[in-house]
Amino acid sequence: MGIWIQIQPGSDKAVYTQIMDQIMEAIARGQLGIGDKLPAVRKLAEELVVNPNTVARAYTLLEQAGMVVTKKGAGTFVSDPKLRQRDAADLSLLVERMDTIIARAMNLGLSPNEITSLFSERMQQFDDTSQEKEELL
């Protein structure tokens, strides 16, 4: 697997959410590509020292979001983004999170141009990581 998942025990986020978020970030960055296999539930649970049900819940929610597909007897794999559906609820949640980030940035005294610049820099980092993986293929 092309990612390393790290659980933060004192975090406000549930462990299954931490697992999901890190896998989704790895997919977005291109560290996990279409068809890449995720570790088996028991193996990942053992590595993270968590209950296998926690990993299974993360995988189930990732599958419901269309990020991965589970093939009986073969494992869980990253799905093709072209086959993922853009759910209106997901887009609404994304906008809500962006609004929260914008509000925090403005409360820190950042101007709209600074916020846009920061966002662009972060997008470039994601794009660079994705392009590096494509060049390796």
Predicted TM-score of the model (pTM): 0.65
| Cα–chain center distance at 83 | 17
| pLDDT grade for 102, boundaries at 50, 70 and 90 | very high
Tokens describing residue 62: 């990732």
Report residue 36 as tokens.
């890449």
Name every residue whose Cβ is closer than 8 Å to that of residue 90 and which is 6 or more positions away in sequence.
65
| 79 and 22 in a common domain | yes
pLDDT tens digits, residue range 30-56? 889 899 999 999 999 999 999 999 999
Average pLDDT across the chain, whole number: 86
- Do 79 and 21 belong together in one domain? yes
Residue 16, helix vs strand vs coil: helix
CATH value at residue 60: 1.10.10.10
Residue 37 is given by DSSP the state B
Does 41 share its domain with 73? yes
Asked, for residue 5, whether it belongs to a domain, the answer is no
115 belongs to a structural domain: yes
User: In angstroms, rounded to a whole number, what is the distance separating the alpha carbons of residues 58 and 54?
Assistant: 6
- Print the domain residue range for 132: 88-136
> Same domain for 59 and 106?
no
